[in-house]
Amino acid sequence: MNKFKKRLAKSATIGGDALVIGTAFGHLEDILDFYTTVFVWDNVIPDIKARNFVFKKDFVLVLPLKTISVIFMDLKHKDKFDSLVPVMASQKPILVFEGEDILPKSQTTTLASHGFNAVSRHGYFHVWKKVR
């Protein structure tokens, strides 16, 4: 088990279905082992063949997904973040952002207004959960 998988397992963000906006920080193949279904949206179609991998070409197709328990978000796709508010409000998923440094308050006002706080940092990523 590589270091990324160990940190993901320790963060208690495993299980259920995952939505990946981007490439999961370059670890897309690693997260396939932890989730029932992994829905992916990115500008480039990944060359991955797996039973639990579903690529969505159009971003609006990820919004009606009802079983998302975790969202992985690459920082290069921050502009898509506000579009995910309906998913965050209805399902209260765990949010996993690229990088150990927590996003600044100027970029996370939407998260705070929906009751999410940064709860842990894990080297490759940091985790936000709904706390209120």
pTM above 0.95, yes or no: no
pLDDT at position 58 = 85
Closest CA to 71 of 52, 42, 97: 97
For residue 118, the domain's CATH number is 3.40.50.150
Give the residue with greater pLDDT, 119 vs 100.
Answer: 119
pLDDT at position 1 = 60
**What is the separation of C-alpha 114 from the centre of its chain, rounded to a whole number of angstroms?**
16
Residue 86 φ/ψ, nearest 5 degrees? -60, -40
For residue 120, give Cα distances in angstroms to 45, 61, 110: 30, 30, 19
Span 50-97, pLDDT tens digits: 999 999 888 888 878 888 889 998 888 877 877 887 777 777 888 888
Quote the domain boundaries for residue 114: 3-130
Give the residue with greater pLDDT, 40 vs 1.
Answer: 40
Q: How many domains does the chain have?
A: 1
H helix count then E strand count, the chain: 4, 7
pLDDT at position 12 = 64
Q: How far apart are CA 41 and CA 45, in angstroms?
A: 8
Span 3-45, pLDDT tens digits: 877 877 777 667 789 999 988 888 888 889 889 999 999 888 8
Alpha helices (H) along 33-125:
85-91, 109-113
